[in-house]
Structure formats: C-alpha cells, structure tokens
Amino acid sequence: MKALVIDDSRVMRRIVGGILTDVGFDVVEAGDGKEALDRLEEHDDVQLCCIDWNMPVMTGFEFVVEARKRDEWRDITLMMVTTEGEQNQIVRALAAGAHEYVIKPFTPDIIIDKLQFLGLVEAKETL
C-alpha cells in the first residue's frame, strides 16, 4: 500500500507519515497541492492521500477538486488532515470528493480509526 502525505509543514509530514508507515504504508510526500499532483503522476499505485488544507501554491481543497477530475485517480481515498474545523469547510471538502476529515491536533489512534473505517487497514481485534 502506498500513501501520499501532502502538507507544507515538514514536521506534520513526518508525524502523519510515521503513523502510516507503522500500519504498513509506503509513504511519499508533497509540500503543496501542485507537487502532489506531480507525485500522483509519478506513482500510479497510491491508494491514500492525506491532505492539509492551507498550503502555498495550491491548497488541499484545490488539490481535491483537481484530483477528482481524473478518472484514473477515482479509486484513491482522499482524507483531509487539517486545522480547518468549521462545519462549512468540512462539508465543502466532502462535497468536492474527500472521503474523510481529520482535524488537527490528532492522535495516531484517530488516524488509524479513520483508516479502519475506510477499510485501508484491518480493524483492531476486540477482546
């Protein structure tokens, strides 16, 4: 499994990438939406994008809109990971084609729970 982590903050790419690596993803990174589109052109096996909203050059929202125009990327799961917590922003992102929404700050468990819900990692066994 391969994931693309899109955030202009290197420390946030490290944190999100570390969580994804721990659950079995190979991780590639991009610092803005435009760079992310380039990464998707290079890596045709990306299954998940974790996307910050506020970035220079191209925002995460603009990236979602652009990515959803491409048929060959329709199976990629798009998950916003952002400080944008207003209800209208969440609705805009989901309407544009994002599948899930995580508001920073987050714990690893929050990310993993979302991935389980999306069927990208196996659910934890319950006792």
Partner 1 sequence: MTVTTNWEVLADPDPVFAVAEDLFTTMIDGEPGHLMRWYGERPAILHPTYTWVDVVGAGDEARVLISMGRDTGEDLARILFDLEDDAPVAETDFADAVGELVNVVGGNVKSLVTHPGALTMPEVSDEMPTLADASPVVDACVTWRGALLCVSLWVLNEDPSSRS
Binding-site size for partner 1 (CB under 8 A) equals 19
Other CB atoms within 10 Å distance of the CB of residue 88: 8
Tell the smallest beta-carbon distance from residue 41 to partner 1 (Å): 26
Q: Check if the beta carbon of residue 85 is closer than 8 Å to that of residue 56.
A: no
Select from 21-29, 67-75, 83-91, 92-100 the region that touches partner 1 (CB under 8 A): 83-91
Binding mask 20-59 for partner 1 (x = CB under 8 A): ----------------------------------x-x---
Report how far apart, in Å, the C-alpha atoms of 5 and of each of 58, 65, 67, 85, 97 are. Answer: 14, 17, 14, 19, 17
Among 25, 66, 78, 82, binds partner 1 (CB under 8 A): 82
Q: How far is CA 54 from the centre of its chain?
A: 13
Select from 7-15, 33-41, 92-100, 111-119 the region that touches partner 1 (CB under 8 A): 7-15
Task: State the Cα–Cα distance between residues 70 and 89, nearest whole angstrom.
Answer: 23
Does residue 16 interact with partner 1 by CB under 8 A? no
